[in-house]
Chain A
Amino acid sequence: MVTIERSTEQINQVVSALKERIGDKVLGVEQPTPHRLYVTVAPEAVVAAADALFNGLGARYLISAGVDKRPLNGGFEVLHFFAFDQANVRCALVIPLKGDPPRIPSITPLIPGAGWAEREFKDLLGIIPEGHPDPRPLVLPDGFPEGLYPLRKDYPYDYKPPLDRSKTFPFKEPPEGTTVVTVGPFFPVLEEPSQWRVFLDGEVVVGCDYRGFYNHRAIEKLGDSALTYNQIPMLAERICGICGCVHSTSYCQAVEEAAGIEVPLRAKVIRTLILELERVHSHLLWLGLACHILGFDYVFMQSWRIREPVMWLAEYLTGNRKHFAINLVGGVRRDIVKEQHPRILEVMDKVERETKELADTLLNDMPLLARLKGTGIFTPEEVRLTGAVGPTARGSGVPIDARKDHPYAAYDLVEFDVVTHDGCDNLARTLVRVGEIFESIKIIRQCVKLLQELPEGDLMAELPEEIPPYRHGMHAVEAPRGEVFHYVLTGENNRPYRWRVRAPSYQNIQAVPVMFKPGTTIADVPITLGSVDPCFSCTERMEIVDVKSGEMKVLTEQELYQLSRQKTKELREKNTQ
């Protein structure tokens, strides 16, 4: 485990590196806990400061957030978040901005992974990232009135402006002589409705363009203008239909950090246990769906069968199979009592045994391996640049895992290994997930043991009269898909002033275009998208537009699967010959 001395050393190093690089452009340093650092820098020095952290000190870029601070001090604020994973330190560059529209030099040319985040604050807050290589809209719908910014404080959360339907989205021009395959706006592989335009030369992918956010639910806006601190966990949980508990835990931990609330140990252990249950079911779900895409429906059915008892167990422990509603700021709502322990262990034994058998048969299945191996190559350097997280990063041998690097809940009390793999391809990402199922089961067993030792009933911390306003809290939880990051700036009226959520797919989807290496064929597109594990929702259709003839072909879900499965079949035949 990382010691506090190591964190302090890292923080001192960051501060002195920044002072050396940008001198008196460092406007202030705040260090609320030994693992957190907020450095206020002048806007003109932001690129140099980000460079010093990202390239100079090897920090990992997390996310950026914009805040409308006009009601407080007349200006705006941008925060760029970085993590030092070896030292358990998270650091934010706080950049106060004046003027309207406020302007800030873009850090995207330096850190490609910041592309979306900067486009997002441009759309939602009207903060202009100057020098951004791709300043197209990201979040707002087509024809949204100009000069209206939904995340600003003077924009009512329930206001719906009229849209100018004649405006369309400026998609990228496809390269000369290529065919465009439009996948979406409702795509089978992605959780959100999202649209991919894949540029093809013959059947080989030469580029792609992405458009998403068709179903933006304004969750952050609701959180900071309509709900109260303890209503938000239930909303946070609904950010994702598969890994919801990670969001509520992460949010609660951010508020707890800001307010200085110490959660009872038993509550922490329960959070850990529930989070790991969630990982087990999520990875089994993914395994099934990934194989389904490739045409291995046998695995799909078996892994979902194995998963079902995990869902029942979750329902037994929390009252619902998916939306556990177990977290509140300050602790958890339900205890896991002695009588429930044998059943947890029983289910875990069964799941472990059956998953082992399934994994065994899978990893000897040559056609399956052939489909996964060598496709969707993603190198460690690309991981760093795109800010990819979770199994997507660990499949490229990058051992980042918030549970180990920035221990939260009770992860510092349990023993487990961070599963990594050096293959850098779809197979490696699959192996990482399979390995993690077993690690999670190991953690759950240890949690049960801890629960047996701890006295029952101590679940909630004493909450202060009022959560002190205008304090920062940032926390992350290692979700099945990667690190979930929440930033909370506390506010008045019993609600946050700003709540920023970064789901792992936010970074991982940005990494997908990088994975389409020369030689990738259209049949590999679904599994490569799938390998970063965005949730798979049902498709409506996809279109193939032949640029040269202007002819349009609409592919149904069936035909898309067909393409992917045809390739498997061919491989199978080759294999048996």
Chain B
Amino acid sequence: MVDSKVKQLLLALRAGKVTFAYPFEPRPSEPGFRGRVVVDTDKCTGCGGCADVCPTRCIRIIDVSPTYRIIRRYLERCIHCGRCEDVCRYGAVRLDLEYEIATTDKRDLFIEQHLFMGSCSRCGRCYVPPTPLDRLMVVGFRKDEEV
């Protein structure tokens, strides 16, 4: 009994201090961490692949007219799974290493994109000019296309 108490004491002493000084000292996350969602609006073609796969369905697509599409990302619901990053063929959406994104105002986590699209005279779907054909050839219009 006394013996085991001594052992416990030694174990604790050997461990020493393990607490970090965070937040007074930065603790950067390692590569591969799934942090904040960032969107590069220049690269986004508005294909809607990310909205299709998002498990929390926090990406909403609104087609105002055949040539005008709004993408709204309500990222307060985002669970940082990274599926949007997986399916985006253009690298328009990415999860970076930032994790200090807690906020009291959920509008801080809201991203809205306005895209002016051309619409295909055959299928009526919209696409972003100016290289519609190239883009149509490769984009995942279907749900859960190979990832």
Contacts and interface: CB of A to CB of B under 8 A. Distances in A.
- Do the two chains bind? yes
Interface of A: 226-235, 238, 298, 302, 305, 308, 315-317, 319-320, 323, 325, 328, 333-334, 354, 357-358, 360-362, 364-367, 460, 462-463, 494, 575-576
Nearest to B145: A463
Interface stretch (B4-12, B37-45, B105-113): B4-12
B11 A361 contact: yes
Contact of A319 (B12, B34, B144): B34
A365 B33 contact: no
B82 A319 contact: yes
B32 A333 contact: no
B45 to A, nearest CB: 22
A365 B147 contact: no
A247 B81 CA distance: 16
A298 B55 contact: no
Contacts of A232: 55
23 contacts: A228-B53, A228-B143, A229-B144, A230-B53, A230-B83, A231-B53, A232-B55, A302-B8, A305-B18, A317-B32, A319-B32, A319-B82, A325-B83, A333-B86, A333-B147, A361-B4, A361-B8, A361-B11, A362-B4, A364-B4, A365-B5, A365-B8, A463-B146
Given A230-B83, A234-B81, A364-B3, 16 more contacts: A229-B144, A230-B53, A231-B53, A234-B56, A235-B55, A298-B12, A302-B8, A302-B11, A305-B15, A325-B79, A361-B8, A361-B11, A365-B1, A367-B1, A463-B146, A494-B144
Nearest to A366: B1
A125 B133 CA distance: 50
A344 to B, nearest CB: 14
A156 to B, nearest CB: 16
A552 B77 CA distance: 42
Given A333-B86, A357-B11, A230 B33 contact: no
B80 interface: yes
A89 to B, nearest CB: 32
Contacts of A226: 57
Interface string B1-30: 101110110011001001000000000011
A238 B5 CA distance: 39
A575 B1 contact: yes
B144 A364 contact: no
Interface string B65-88: 000000000000001111100100
A319 B55 CA distance: 17
Contact of A320 (B3, B34, B147): B34
B143 A494 contact: yes
B7 A231 contact: no
A510 B53 CA distance: 37
A417 B32 CA distance: 34
Contacts of A319: 32-34, 82, 95
Contacts of A302: 8, 11-12, 15
A315 B30 contact: yes
B34 A325 contact: yes
B18 to A, nearest CB: 6
A234 B1 contact: no
Contact of B144 (A228, A305, A323, A362): A228
A362 B5 CA distance: 9
A96 B33 CA distance: 48
B147 to A, nearest CB: 7
A486 B55 CA distance: 19
Which 7 A-B pairs have CB atoms at the shortest separation, nearest pair first?
A: A364-B4, A234-B55, A231-B55, A319-B34, A361-B7, A325-B81, A361-B8
B79 A323 contact: yes
Task: Among B3, B15, B55, B144, find the residue whose CB has the most chain A CB atoms closer than 10 A.
Answer: B55
A333 B87 CA distance: 12
A575 B5 CA distance: 14
A96 to B, nearest CB: 32
A226 B57 CA distance: 10
Contacts of B7: 357, 360-361, 364
A174 to B, nearest CB: 40
Contacts of A230: 53, 83, 144
A460 B56 CA distance: 23
A352 B139 CA distance: 48
Contacts of A235: 55
A230 B52 CA distance: 10
Nearest to A360: B7
A325 B3 CA distance: 45
A574 B80 CA distance: 53
B46 to A, nearest CB: 21
Contacts of B32: 316-317, 319, 334
Nearest to B81: A325
Nearest to A296: B8
Interface in B80-106: 80-83, 86, 95
A234 B83 contact: yes
Contacts of A362: 4
A562 B56 CA distance: 42
Nearest to A325: B81
Most-contacted residue by chain B among A234, A328, A367 (CB, 10 A) = A234
Given A231-B55, A234-B79, A315 B33 contact: yes
A77 B11 CA distance: 57
Nearest to A576: B1
Nearest to B35: A319
Nearest to A368: B4
Nearest to B6: A361
B12 A364 contact: no
Choose among B7, B12, B18, B81 the residue with the greatest number of A CB atoms under 10 Å from its CB: B81
